[in-house]
Every structure is written in structure tokens, then in C-alpha cells.
Amino acid sequence: MRALVIDASTALGFLMTDEQAPEARTALDALERGVPTWVPGHWGLEVSNGLLAALRRKRLTAADVSDAIEVLSQLPIDTDSETASRSLGAIADVARLHNLSTYDAAYLELAMRKGAALATSDTALARASRKAGVTVV
């Protein structure tokens, strides 16, 4: 794998011990091996929202959330600077073509643009990615 895009479901999957899916472990292993890893601009909001939802549901403690944020801040993940400028054009086109939300389409468009594999546990996003010729982890 030459590059990787990870979505929020994958990040939450390796941060939350009760959700550790194989694709999340594979993505974390790739990060640790130094595979260039990208996320769209909204990724941090989506991940932090997932962590706070888990806190509200008492699946995580406040300390767990703080620890997770610390772990994420230390991972070698590059945030794409073009997400916002592409949101009304290329990303919206991908969303329309593949019947995805624009949030999910941003991951697919980024993977396509970077020539990267996509790590996701989202079934619809994985299906659309395969249809677009993107390798799914």
C-alpha cells in the first residue's frame, strides 16, 4: 500500500477497545509502518463527535476521550488542505455519482486524488470505493 486515507469509523475503531475491527488494526499498522496517511478537513470534527457521543453514552470516560485525542494528535496523519475548496465541485460530484453523503464522498474523492487505499468500516462507502476502483482496507 503506497498511501492510505482513513475515515472516522476507522479511527474510532482503533481508539475504542470495544470496536476494534480488523480494518482499523490494519490501518493503524500501516500508520506505524510509515505509510503516508491522509484525512479530509472535516475528519477531526467527525472523530471528536464520535468520541463525545461515546462519552455521552458512557462507553468512554472523560479521561478516555482525552487519551484518544492525545493518541490522534501524535499519529503521522496529514490533513488535506483542499477539502473545503473541492466541496462544491469534485466532492459533490462524487457524492451524487455514488449516492453518498458529502462527508463520505470527501474520503473517496481524497483517496482517488491521492491514489490511496481507503480504510473504512462503512458499507456504503466501501461499496462506492470499490466501484470507483479504490482499494478498500
C-alpha distances (whole Å) from 15 to each of 1, 47, 60, 72, 82 are 22, 10, 10, 9, 26
Determine the 3-state secondary structure of 100 from DSSP.
Answer: coil
* CATH among 3.30.930.10, 3.40.50.1010, 3.30.365.10, 3.40.50.300 for 4-131: 3.40.50.1010
Residue owning grid cell 462544491: 88
Global confidence as pTM: 0.93
Q: What's CA 55's distance to the chain center, in Å?
A: 20
Distance CA 60, CA 98 (A): 34
Chain centroid to CA 63: 23
Pair 5, 125: CB distance under 8 Å:
no
Which residues does 39 contact at the CB level (< 8 Å), separation at least 6? 5, 6, 7, 77, 78, 79, 80, 107, 110
Residue spans per domain, the chain: 4-131
pLDDT tens track for 42-88: 999 999 999 999 999 999 999 999 999 999 999 999 999 999 999 99
pLDDT in tens, 81-105: 999 999 999 999 999 999 999 999 9
Nearest to 24 by CA among 10, 42, 5: 10
pLDDT-derived band of residue 24, with 50, 70 and 90 as boundaries? confident
C-alpha–C-alpha distance, residues 82 and 41, integer Å: 8
Three cell numbers written together for 15: 481508539
pLDDT of residue 14: 85
Strand partners, 79: 39
